Each structure stands twice: as structure tokens, then as C-alpha cells.
Amino acid sequence: MRAQLAFLAAAMLTGAQPASAVEVTVSAAQITQFKNAKVDQQVDGLIFRGGIAMVAQVDIFGGLSGLTLTGPNNQVSFVTDRGNFVSGHLAYDDDDRLFGFIGVNIEPIQNSKGDPLPRQYAKDAESVDTVYRDGVPVAVRVGFENLTRVADFALTNGTPGGAAREISIPQWLSDTRSNEALESVCVAPPASPIAGSTLLLAEEVLDETGNHRGWLLGQNDKGPIAYTNSSVVNPTECAFLPNGDLLVLERGVSMLSFVMNLRRVPAAEVRPGNLMVGELLLSATGGSIDNMESLMVHTAPNGEQRIVIGSDNNFNDWQRSLLLEFALPE
């Protein structure tokens, strides 16, 4: 599968980098069908709520590998393969359909000295989640591969930035310096049995039983955890539902086409020492998807809980930057 992924997601170009925050106009086309479902129709275990395909006329927009909610009015931030934060607001029409990504700024991620990351090996940000204190978003937690590490960045008016504050991770993970290491980082919500703990999941680092290695970073809930392996897909992102259930996005390649699965793990199963096996909520391949890598749970303007799944175009013209939105049936 690694060879097929390399074929479909060719090595990224180094590309131009912004020296500071740059305003970018992002155009978006609404997506009104997913697989055989139209907007508001059920597809597998979810309800399709629409989506957008995004483009911008600058080569620094793309490679969107992780997504998190950072402030009010659907303020969000992505992290990218080239070491940038891409921040803005998701825009909804009068029918609560996602139709745009507006007020977009792109800013380089900084190292612990407050300087832009020096080389591509250190820039490959793959996952991001928001850290809350007393219900207020105060930072984002970012996972990087190749130079594998986890770091926090302060939020200012909902926009991440400033010097990195590195978080201690297990030695086995930091020693795995490849693009098959850390793909998933998510912070457990207050309702979770492991509230406040951070879940780390590796893409292709397997334990002695052949399952994906993971780790929980927490005060009381700390230690190894595992996620069931598949011959076709690997975990590429995670996100918690407010009730503590875990969503895991899986990505792979079959017959030179991308494959995507979304699974739900009950809250009680997310604990140190356990092997997590999720229930399949959604599966897709072919033209309905692309290289799906980002996952976010948020509340739409009408108050409905939504699941957003996004794609990383690897800065390739033949791939797309998609955001697909779903709801859980009541």
C-alpha cells in the first residue's frame, strides 16, 4: 500500500513559504452529492449535509492535513504539509449548508525559538486539536511526522501562532522518524472517562500483535493503547464526540483509488492497555473522495452536531481540497 500511496500522493514540492501571515482568498464550489446520496439523505450510518471543494490562486494554499475548531462563529485552523497554519471561518448559507471558507490567513508554524520551521523534514504537520481550559480554547496541539513530535501553540483571538511548546511523547514514537509515524492527535472532552488526556495514534507503527500502536498522554490516563489493523486502510486522524466516543478516520488505496472509512469507538473502550475496534459509520472510494486526512466535530449554526472530513491535495493540481460534512442520525 505504501507504494500505491506514493504513486497517488507524489512527493511534495518545497514551494514558496510566507515569512509572516498572508491573507488568501479561497474560492469554494458546493458539493451536493456524496456517493448516491443527495444533501440531507442518509449514506451508510450518517446523513450527508453537503460540502465544498476549495481552491486558491496561490501555491501556499493546500496540503491541508488536520482541522480543528478554534473560536466562535465556526472559526477553524488547518495545519499543512509545508508547516503552515491556515486559519479562517467556515461559512454557511441560510439553509445551514457549508458554502465557503472565508477570512483566510496563512502563517508559518514556528519552532521553540519563535522562528519559522527551518526545513521540510521538520515542517510536516499532520494533525491538530484544540486544548480547552475551563471551557475556553487556549491552545492547539499539533502532531508532526518525519521529525516526529507534538507541540502546543497559543491561540490569540482564535488564531494559533507563537513559539512551539513541545510536549513529551514516548521514546518509541519520537524515534520513529518517517512519514508513517504520527498521523492522529486528539484531546478527550470533559464527558470522556479519560477527560483531558491526549490520544496519539500511529499510521504504520505496529505492536507485537500487528495492531497500530498508540499512546495516551494524561495525568491519570497514561500509557499504551492500540487500534485494530487493516490490510487496506490506516488511521489518519481522530476526533472525539462530546459524549466521549472516539471517531477514527481511516485512509488507504485500493486499485489505485483512495479509500476512506470512518469508525466510532465507544467511550469506555478508549483506555490504557486496550485494543480499540470501531464500528463502521461510513465508507467510500473513487470520485466521491480524495486523500482524506482531516476530521473535526463541531456545531453548525442551527445547533446540529456535525462531522467534517477534509482532504489533503499534497499540493497537486490533480487532487482536491475537499470538506465533506455529515450528521449522526437522531
d(CA 272, CA 277): 14
Which is nearest to 296 in space by CA: 99, 140, 96? 140
Cα–Cα dist 253/19, whole Å? 35
Q: What is the pLDDT of residues 39-95, one digit of tens each?
A: 999 999 999 999 999 999 999 999 999 999 999 999 999 999 999 999 999 999 999
Domain ranges of the chain: 2-13+22-110+117-327
Average pLDDT over residues 242-265: 94
- Largest CA-CA distance found in the chain, in angstroms, rounded: 52
Q: Phi and psi dihedrals of 46, rounded to 5? A: -130, 170
Bigger pLDDT: 3 vs 289: 289
218-222, 242-246, 286-290, 300-304: segment of lowest average pLDDT: 218-222
Evaluate if residue 254 carries a pLDDT over 90. Answer: no
pLDDT score, position 220: 86
Given pLDDT bands bounded at 50, 70 and 90, which one contains residue 255? confident
Structure-model confidence comparison of residues 119 and 280, the more confident one: 280
Mean pLDDT of 240-263: 94
Instruction: Compute CA distances 184 → 34, 100, 230, 256, 293, whole Å.
Output: 25, 26, 16, 24, 9
pLDDT of residue 82: 95
Q: Judge if pTM exceeds 0.85.
A: yes
Distances (CA, A) of 148 to 140, 173, 256: 17, 7, 28
Residue 6: the pLDDT is 43
C-alpha cell, 219: 495525568
How high is the pLDDT of residue 7? Answer: 38
pLDDT beyond 90 at 310: yes
Nearest to 141 by CA among 126, 152, 133: 152
Positions of E strands within 25-63: 27-31, 33-34, 37-38, 42-43, 46-55
User: For residue 200, what are the contacts with CB-CB under 8 A and spacing of at least 6?
Assistant: 143, 150, 169, 173, 182, 184, 185, 214, 215, 216, 217
pLDDT averaged over the chain? 93
pLDDT at 295 over 50: yes
Note the pLDDT of residue 287: 93
pLDDT attached to residue 18? 74
pLDDT of residue 17: 65
How confident is the model over 279-305, as a mean pLDDT?
Answer: 96
Beta strands 27-31 and 46-55 are antiparallel
Cell numbers found for residue 136: 475556553
pLDDT at 16: 53
CB atoms within 10 A of CB 245: 22
The fold adopted by the segment(s) 2-13+22-110+117-327 is Tachylectin-2; Chain A (2.115.10)
Question: Would you say residue 19 has pLDDT above 80?
Answer: no
pLDDT at 315: 95
| pLDDT 10s digits, 189-231 | 999 999 999 999 999 999 999 999 999 999 889 999 999 999 8
pLDDT tens readout for residues 139-159: 999 999 999 999 999 999 999
203 phi/psi in degrees, rounded to 5? -75, -50
pLDDT tops 90 at residue 13: no
Give the whole-angstrom CA distance, residue 17 versus residue 244.
38
Q: What is the pLDDT of residue 5?
A: 46
Instruction: Give the pLDDT mean for 231-246.
Output: 96
Percent of the chain with pLDDT over 70: 95
Q: How confident is the model at residue 330 (pLDDT cuts 50, 70, 90)?
A: confident
